[in-house]
Amino acid sequence: MSNSPYETYEPRYEPQPPQPSQQYEPSYEAWSEAPYGSPYDAPYGARYEGARYDGAPYDEGECDVTLLDAIPAAPAPAPEEGRLPRQQTSDGGGRAARRRSTGRGAGRVSGGPERPDAMRRLVPQALVVAFLAGGTSAFVANDKAVELIVDGRPRTLHTFADDVGELLADEGVDVGAHDIVAPGPGTTLASGDEIAVRYGRPVHLTLDGERRKVWTTARTVDGALRQLGVRAEGASLSASRSRRIDRDGLALDVLTERTVTIMADGRERTIRTNAATVGEAVAESGVRLRGQDTTSVAPESFPRDGQTVTVMRITGTKEVQEEPIPFEVEKKEDPSLFRGTEVVAQAGRAGVRRVTYTVRSVNGVKQKPRRVRTEVVREPQKRIVKVGTKQMPSSVAGADQLDWGSLAHCESGGRPGAVDPSGTYGGLYQFDTRTWQALGGSGRPQDASASEQTFRAKKLYVQRGASPWPHCGRRL
């Protein structure tokens, strides 16, 4: 008997039948209650088994959370005083009965005492499990399986790159201004995407005689021609169509097939040709050029598609002609001659040159002669003229008062350069050369000035009177 005023109470526990063990994958909420530093910290990707009820008096601190396939089953703890031992289940035992956890403090048996220290252990363990599960989900979500095709060579990759540009950088694929990336470098990546990279290749292309540098992403000559839009049917190529183009590129000469019409000898010939020059196209048409024959366009020029070329049959002869070479006139001052008087000291003589011309006939039509050679046969001789600088006397005593104008008009019509039909007499007063020079004149009288001729006529009158002019002397 106890001295206590209270009635002694002996709790009685009625054993419950064992419950079947249940395995489950804990949710994020359940994992978040795992105590920090728990011995059940699990590696990435492991599965957990929660506690199970066995009907025994339950203490919150005895929750048994086990890592399946990773940690061996822990032995059942010894039962405390006043508690029944946990029941062993058919799955091997060692695991506590699962608790249905709905929140803070869940899993406590009605009537059992609270254990705050057990709760502190449970919450950090659940947080660790939640962190591992969340990291696993993010890791798997960021991993993408893509196919990268570089210059026709495919490969499948797993990448964490966010866009195409980052993927190419990770894989060490450098692209330049002439390379093609599809989709573009800024395109966001998703699992299952296909990324194609085609490198640009330089081609030094000579197309129908015109040179230029072009870029292509084609890997063969045939592909490059199609990509560049070059009409290659029937074309003549400097490299085979199947030849591969390296990244360094290549030089390629292309002569496309063209239609050219040749007009020769009254006939028209139309051909299809890859000729590089007009001369080659004419030869392909079966027309032969002989001698001076030529074409309407330069034979070395490039024949264009649809062009008409006329062959010109040329025949020619040579002609030789002699032509005069004019002489020069040189004047020299002579103080012994009266001013205004000019005397020819040396007569000029024209030279002679021999000129050779070719006279061509083009398709039967005679052309303008063309000079091809010049040869000097005789050099010209210059003419030397003496020009008087002596002051002319103003008068001749005994003759100044006479009418010399009337005499000149009667003899020569008043013309200083007049010469009679026989060529013997000349000038205003029709001097003969011998008389003129006897009076001090030089050269011929008709070459002297009018004033000098009048002066010489006065001197003659003083010597001989009017007799030198038997018909007109009375006019003096």
- Give the tens place of pLDDT for each residue, 58-115: 343 333 333 333 334 444 444 444 443 443 333 434 333 333 333 333 333 334 444 4
Q: 10 Å Cβ neighbour count for 364?
A: 7
Nearest to 126 by CA among 41, 53, 43: 41
Stretch 351-372: mean pLDDT: 91
Q: Is the pLDDT of residue 341 over 50?
A: yes
Highest mean pLDDT among 282-286, 338-342, 399-403, 461-465: 282-286
pLDDT at 56: 40
Stretch 121-150: mean pLDDT: 64
pLDDT range class, residue 364, cuts 50, 70, 90: confident
Q: Is the pLDDT of residue 30 over 70?
A: no
pLDDT at 107: 37
CATH code of 317-386, in short, is 2.20.230.10
Spatial separation of the C-alpha atoms in residues 462 and 39, rounded to whole Å: 169
CATH for 392-475, options being 1.10.530.10, 3.20.20.70, 1.10.8.50, 3.30.1340.30: 1.10.530.10
Domain 201-255 CATH assignment equals 3.20.20.370: no
pLDDT at 366: 87
Spatial separation of the C-alpha atoms in residues 334 and 386, rounded to whole Å: 6
CATH for 258-312, options being 3.40.50.620, 1.10.3720.10, 1.10.10.60, 3.10.20.90: 3.10.20.90
Q: Same fold for the domain at 144-198 and the one at 258-312?
A: yes
3-state secondary structure the chain: CCCCCCCCCCCCCCCCCCCCCCCCCCCHHHHCCECCCCCCCCCCCCEEECCECCCCCCCHHHCCCEEECCCCCCCCCCCCCCCCCCCCCCCCCCCCEECCCCCCCCCCCCCCCCCHHHHHHHHHHHHHHHHHHHHHHHHHHHCEEEEEEECCEEEEEEECCCEHHHHHHHCCCCCCCCCEEECCCCCECCCCCEEEEECCEEEEEEECCEEEEEEECCCEHHHHHHHHCCCCCCCEECCCCCCECCCCCEEEEEECCEEEEEEECCEEEEEEECCCCHHHHHHHCCCCCCCCCEECCCCCCCCCCCEEEEEECEEEEEEEEEEEECCCEEEEEEEEEECCCEEEEECCECEEEEEEEEEEEECCEECCCEEEEEEEEECCECEEEEEEEECCCCCCCCCCCCCHHHHHHHHHCCCCCCECCCCCEECCCCEEHHHHHHCCCCCCHHHCCHHHHHHHHHHHHHHHCCCCCCCCHHHC
pLDDT range class, residue 127, cuts 50, 70, 90: low
Spatial separation of the C-alpha atoms in residues 449 and 417, rounded to whole Å: 9
Q: 10 Å Cβ neighbour count for 46?
A: 15
pLDDT at 118: 52
Spatial separation of the C-alpha atoms in residues 343 and 270, rounded to whole Å: 76
pLDDT range class, residue 209, cuts 50, 70, 90: confident
Across all residues in the chain, what is the average pLDDT?
76
Q: Are 425 and 431 in contact (CB under 8 A)?
A: yes
Domains of the chain by residue range = 1-142, 144-198, 201-255, 258-312, 317-386, 392-475
CATH for 144-198, options being 3.30.460.80, 3.20.20.80, 3.10.20.90, 3.40.50.10320: 3.10.20.90
